[in-house]
Structure 1
């Protein structure tokens, strides 16, 4: 908004300027998003193309990932991580309300969480090292992506029954360190977590207790797949399984609310990538067939530009699941993914159920912003 001092105020420039600033502030307040739009941005590959990020359409960026080693949060590539932090912080010139948060763990770097939070002293060490990164690089908080407490996750991960209680105690320790930083800096810091969408995740944690220390619980409502080794949707909003026991975003949200997580803290997950499987038969366009093997899916921009209704793939839409998919009759390959229609449906679901907002993995899987633009249109 540009401020022009009109002639009636020419004798009162300070009054005119004050009114102008108030009006500008009112416009700014109106533009501030009601819902979170949280993008995971991968820094594990090296330097991120930060200049390609449309910062005005986001509220939060979770930088993925920070490793866990020797009971500490560790930047594994200091040169690229520090450069990425500097460039991400520069996006605040475009969007002053944008929050930059470090995400610790992820699928490949969760093997040492159990050891890191096993004792009071190790938890304190982990919490301090996590918050020290936030302090050093002038960031806005910590996100924990432990895949998974009390369960294996990636082959070779350390896990133990005590993870259930230590998961909660970890957040308590980090929150206390962030509280100290808040007193030191005079600003609010975020503590969030990305959680698995399965009921087993809830059974191996104390989400009702843990949520007290958390600003947001980001439910990874993707990577589902069919039951018992069958081909199915990976990021569907509703259940489509005839048994009524399939996985869906709706079921995950209801399970977490039942476990004690308030709806207003829940972020719904969007997948900016597809997953593919070769089906044993072409019956029902592959849905429900036995999986033969995994097949590369790819990011949404690639899917939309090169595969949807192209190269032997035909697009279908499952009205019950509220999810699109592609099927190739000759290769029997099914690709399950998120599109503009399914994202719009998730945005509607967020509003209807008064959730915190949406998050997605991963920003650069959709460089043409097909899905980001849809979120921006439907979740303001």
Structure 2
């Protein structure tokens, strides 16, 4: 009788362990995508185990639709990033093309079947040379004027065609060299103008992830202060810009599966001087100039230091700083803001988190550590 009881107990424990094992194996895995720029880091600085993907920015799309490293340093950096895989063999490394100031020839390169083929063939050669796992298209912005870029009304349709042709070519390349699937991602905007000039519904069919730039919602072009990356709307102000949550909802409404959406985080701040001294500078006009710098600098010299007082917007779920003597307002994200954003990401079963940019929090890596802590558990 005692033996039978022990047998039943053992069977029950084994069943419990099996159930726990199944739960662990079916637990959703989120991506952590880190954009890495060209300066401010060495291979020893990269915590490869805390990211699933690294996207290096940027390669240049030059006249004629050819992809090339911006400098010799970029080539060295790409080979260095390949070497950090030893710490995380599953790490995927992609090249980003474009970015603000790097999109001049996107409209030309996507214009015709032959121009798209030329761009894509050049990109495939680039990917092979640097042992990459895919490409990220950061076209800022189709159909709109930007930093000296060429643009046309047909950019909207041609962007989708470009992504379609990239997907087909990457699949063929994977079958040829037995690499496994090559990734295609897009870094995209969140404002009404971007949504109007981009075929989100059509384009998203071809990408693995949409890296949603849910930052710079208020930015250096504004003469009124505001949160650059709020999770929700603030209780003050006119709510003239989307929040992170609203941007994500807009993409889902356009047919983008939630698990393709990767929420963006800023590892830097934005600020304004000569701000009206009302409501601690929040949503106030600025007669001065715009400032922006790394989270490292912010933590070292600004947060509750040198006259800058910390405030928390309980509705928007983000912090900000106000210096009443200097009339300077600063918007940023911190560990607390990341906690709320990760909660939102998990609740809505998004694809994961991404951030711009690695070197901006490289000394303490406080923000990356918080992302790693929360996303992995």
TM-score, normalised by the number of residues in structure 2:
0.89
Any conservation in 1 of the 2:276–2:286 contact (CA below 8 Å)?
Answer: no
Q: State the shift of 1:52 in Å.
A: 0.1
With over 3 angstroms needed to count, the CA separation of the structure-2 counterparts of 1:222 and 1:272, relative to structure 1, is: same
Any conservation in 2 of the 1:92–1:98 contact (CA below 8 Å)?
Answer: yes
Asked whether 1:379 is paired with 2:371, we answer no
The counterpart of 2:154, out of the listed 147, 154, 162, is: 162
Partner of 2:45: 52
What residue ranges of structure 2 are gaps of 5+ in the alignment? 1-20
Q: How many residues align?
A: 349
Any conservation in 2 of the 1:131–1:142 contact (CA below 8 Å)?
Answer: no
Partner of 1:308: 303
Question: Secondary structure in 2 aligned to 1:355?
Answer: coil
Alignment of 1:1-380 (within 5 A): 34-43=29-38, 45=39, 48-69=41-62, 70-77=64-71, 79-154=72-147, 156-186=148-178, 187-225=180-218, 229-240=223-234, 242-367=237-362, 368-380=364-376
What residue ranges of structure 1 are gaps of 5+ in the alignment? 1-25
TM-score, normalised by the number of residues in structure 1:
0.88
Q: State the shift of 1:243 in Å.
A: 3.8
The list of structure 1 runs, each at least 4 consecutive aligned residues, that deviate by more than 2 angstroms after superposition, is 226-229, 241-247, 293-297
Deviations 1:43-65 (A, max 9, x none): 2x4x8422201111000000000
Equivalents in 1 of 2:124, 2:257: separation in Å? 25
Partner of 2:4: none
Partner of 2:7: none
Partner of 1:5: none
Equivalents in 2 of 1:168, 1:363: separation in Å? 29
Any conservation in 2 of the 1:150–1:159 contact (CA below 8 Å)?
Answer: yes
Any conservation in 2 of the 1:131–1:174 contact (CA below 8 Å)?
Answer: no
Equivalents in 2 of 1:100, 1:33: separation in Å? 21
Q: State the shift of 1:242 in Å.
A: 4.6
Partner of 1:23: none
Equivalents in 2 of 1:291, 1:160: separation in Å? 33
With over 3 angstroms needed to count, the CA separation of the structure-2 counterparts of 1:144 and 1:335, relative to structure 1, is: same
Deviations 1:245-281 (A, max 9, x none): 4321111101111111111100000000000112431
Structure 1, 316-325 or 275-284: larger mean CA deviation: 275-284
Any conservation in 2 of the 1:33–1:59 contact (CA below 8 Å)?
Answer: no
Equivalents in 2 of 1:184, 1:363: separation in Å? 33
